[in-house]
Amino acid sequence: MGNDIKVLIVDDSAIVRKVFAEQLSKEAGIKVVGTAPDPYVARDKIVKLKPDVITLDIEMPRMDGITFLKKLMKFYPLPVIIVSSLTSKGSNIALEALSLGALEVISKPNSAYSVGDMGVQLAEKIRAVAKINVTSATKTNTALKPQTDIESKALSTTTNKIMAIGASTGGTEAVKKVLTMMPQNSPGIVVVQHMPAQFTTSFAERLNELCKMEVKEAKDGDSVINGQALIAPGNFHMLLKRSGARYYVQVKKGPLVHYQRPAADVLFKSAAKYAGANVLGIILTGMGKDGAAGLLAMKKAGAINIAQDEKSCVVFGMPKEAIDIGAVDHVKDINDIAQTAIKLITGE
């Protein structure tokens, strides 16, 4: 009991607080030390109870979750999981929360009485983020090297090349770092980032504003073309397919893989089957082992794979699993992955 992860639940709904507390109390190694209806009460309880992890709603009275998160990360940084109803507007706010230092986002069910259904998922994420040094993670995300452009002429000799990227916890910032460093005529890119439905739409839109290449949420049948990145939509798997010389994606429902939908393994295994040596795999920060088996299948099919190194990861779970089974050819700092990928895929 002494080593249990101490959790503080911050949510304006009394029902949500009660159900979360009951569900998490059933999970081994987790102890709910308190709840708070708003950030002001939460502030006092943080000082008194010293929780290891906070679950935080966004829309609350007296002070919104984003304002509270800013203050928390400045004066008392802790692992934070955003648990919120992600409307179109809310998903943009949740993206801002991740950029400010929140480590995970979970979509709250529409009915407060059904939040217990997500207890296992929330407990899994709590166990993962409790191990993270938030101060170090924040420094890693903000103190990045200056962006370096990659000369577009380096891509002139490539045809039908593809990059496949998988990421989870901490991945929104890592994916942003990689894609913003890609040139306008980069090979087509397909991305699986573990996140809820609706959230991926705002994520793709924000990346599209920041990147030289076009970034969009994938739709079933979209072609994979140079100068474009496709983000797998939340709650759908994305597979790479090929018809003649044309690569395209299939977006579909299906069972959870490693508790995830979309799952990196689903994308990577399809890339191994349909692209072989014409695809380059990249696995970024994230908990669990999603993507490892898929990367190994890609490598056996002739692909070259890159993993983010431990120092620049928020969670070194997914990259480590892939490295441990021999699926990775290069291990790189997040700042060096884009340029390494372009050099490898062009052969220069």
What is the distance between the alpha carbons of residues 123 and 126, in angstroms, rounded to a whole number? 5
Q: How crowded is residue 131: how many other Cβ atoms within 10 Å of its Cβ?
A: 13
- Whole-angstrom Cα distance, residue 144 to residue 282? 19
Task: Show the beta-strand stretches assigned E in 244-278.
Answer: 246-252
168 catalytically annotated: yes
Cis peptide before 262 (omega within 30 of 0): yes
CA distance 46 to 30: 17
Q: Are 56 and 10 a contacting pair, CB within 8 Å?
A: yes
Q: Return the sign of the alpha-carbon dihedral for residues 138, 167, 303, 327.
A: positive
Give me 39's structure tokens: 């950030």
Length of the chain: 348
Contact criterion met (CB below 8 Å) for 190 and 229: yes
Q: Choose, from 91, 194, 265, 309, the residue flagged as catalytic.
A: 194
Q: What three-state secondary structure class fits 81?
A: strand
| Token code pair at residue 118 | 């997500």
Instruction: Find the catalytic residue in 168, 186, 270, 312.
Output: 168
Is position 258 annotated as part of the catalytic site?
no
- Give the H or E element holding residue 243: strand 237-243
The CA distances from residue 269 to 81, 300, 301, in Å, are 30, 11, 10
Among 57, 222, 290, 309, which one carries the catalytic annotation?
290
Report the chain's C-alpha Rg in angstroms: 20
Residues 6+ apart with CB under 8 A from 161: 187, 188, 278, 279, 280, 345, 346
- Helices (H), strands (E): how many in the chain? 12, 14
Task: Find how far residue 245's CA is from the centre of its chain.
Answer: 31
- CA distances 213 to 225, 229, 239, 246, Å, are 11, 7, 21, 19
| Residues 276, 281: Cα–Cα separation, whole Å | 11
- Give catalytic residue positions: 168, 194, 290
